[in-house]
Structure 1
Amino acid sequence: MKRAGRGAEIEEDARVFHRIRRRAKELSETERQFAELHARLQGQVPPGFGVPAPEPEPAKPAAVVDDFLPPELRVPSHDQVDGKMMPWKQPLVLDGEMAACAECGAYRDWLILSTHGDIWLRCRAGHQQRETRIDTAWYNRHSGPADATHATFEDCLRHLGH
C-alpha cells in the first residue's frame, strides 16, 4: 500500500513540475508587453540623438556683494601679527624645574611671548629671556583665544597689566 501511495505522489509531483516547466516557457503578460514595446521601438532613434549640442550661453557675471565682516570685526591672520602673548600667573615648571628670571630671580607672574617661532618669558620687572624648553605648539595648547589685538608691543603690555 505504501508503494501505491508513494507512486501516486510521484505522479502528482511529475504533473506539477510539468505545469511549472510549461509556464516557464510561456511569457508572462508583462514580459509579452515588454517584447511588443521593444519590437515597436527597435528602429527608432531618440530626438536630438546625433545632433551636435547647442553652444552654451555665456554666463552672466555674478553680482559683487560685500558679505565679508566689517573691518572692526576682522581678526588679523597669523602672518599679519608679529607675535602673541599671554599671562602666566603661577610658577612655570618645565622639565621638572621651575623657571626663574635670570636677572632678578622672579619665578611667577610671567608674560609668555610667542614671536616668529620663538618663545620668550618676561617677568614683572621687564626682563626677557628666551625659553627653549617651550615651543609654539605648547604655547598654542595653553593659550586661550585672543581677546584683543594691539598696534604696538607697549599697548599689549599695558593691556595685560605689565
Structure 2
Amino acid sequence: MKRAGRGHEVEEDARVFHRIRRQAKEPTEALSQFAALHAQLQGQVPPGFGVPAPAPEPFAPAVVMDDFLPPELRVPSHDQVGGKMMPWSQPLVLDGEMVACTECGAYRDWLILSTRGEIWLRCRAGHQQHETRIDTAWYNRHSGPADATHATFEDCLRHLGH
C-alpha cells in the first residue's frame, strides 16, 4: 500500500469539514421562523401584565359551631368508656382446649368483656372469669362495630339479652 495517496484524502476531508461548518453557520428553516416570530412579538406585553391585581372581595365570617355532629350521633372516646363487650354464642376454643365456666361448666353463649386491658368471660348464669389467653388485640380483631353505648353495665347486659 502506498502512503503517497494520503495527502489527497486529507484534502478531501478538509473540504467536507469546511462544507459542514459553512452549513452550520447558515440558519436553518426552523431558526429563521423563530427569528421572524421573535421580531414580531418584540415589544408586546401580555394582557393584564403590569395592571394591579383586583382587591379581594369581602366575605362574611363563618358561623362558629361547637362540633360538626349533633350530640345523638357522637361516639364516646376510648377514655370515656369503661369497657366493651360482645356476645360469643359458639364454644370458645383456646390453645386447642374448649373453655368452660369454672363454676357451672357452661361452654357456650359467652359474653366477652374487654376492660382496662383485660379480658373477662361471663357465662349465661352470670359467672365471670378472667381469661389470660385472650388479649385486647384478639378482642378487637373479633369484635364488630359497636351498635350501642350504655351508661351502666346492667344496661349493656340487658341489651345483649343476659
- Shared fold by TM > 0.5? yes
CA distance in 1, matches of 2:62, 2:109: 53
- Deviation per residue, 1:26-53 (Å, 9 max, x gap): 3432368769x99x9xxxxxx8xxxxxx
The corresponding residue for 1:159 is: 159
Structure 1 residue 77, shift from structure 2 partner:
1.6
2:74 — aligned with what?
Answer: 74
Structural mapping, 1:1-162, within 5 Å: 18-27=18-27, 28-29=31-32, 30=34, 63-66=62-65, 68-162=68-162
Unaligned runs of 5+ in 1: 1-10, 41-46, 48-59
Offset at residue 161 of structure 1 (A): 0.3
| 1:17/1:145 CA distance change after superposition, 3 Å | same
TM-score (norm 1): 0.69
- Matched to 2:159, the amino acid is H
SS in 2 for 1:111: strand
- The root-mean-square deviation of aligned C-alpha atoms, in Å, is 3.2
The superposition leaves residues 118-162 of structure 1 with CA deviations (integer Å, 9 ceiling, x where unpaired) of 000000111111100000010011001111110000000000000
% identity of equivalent residues: 82
Unaligned 5+ segments in structure 2 are: 1-11, 44-49, 51-58
- Structure 2: distance between partners of 1:121 and 1:62: 54
Cα displacement (A) at 1:21: 2.6
Distance 2:120 2:89 in 1: 15
> Structure 1 residues 17, 33: closer, same or farther in 2, change over 3 A?
farther
Aligned AA (2:62):
A
Distance 1:96 1:81 in 2: 33
- Residues 30-83 of structure 1, C-alpha deviation per residue, up to 9 Å, x if partnerless? 368769x99x9xxxxxx8xxxxxxxxxxxx995234361100011112121111
TM-score of the two chains, using structure 2 as the length reference: 0.69
In structure 2, do the counterparts of structure 1 residues 148 and 139 end up closer, same or farther at CA, with 3 Å as the change threshold?
same
Shift of 1:17: 6.1
Aligned to 1:5: none
Residue 87 of structure 2: SS of its match in structure 1?
strand
Count of residues paired in the alignment: 134
Q: Which amino acid aligns with 2:107?
A: Y
Using the TM superposition, give the Cα deviation of residue 25 of structure 1 relative to its aligned residue in structure 2, in angstroms.
Answer: 2.1
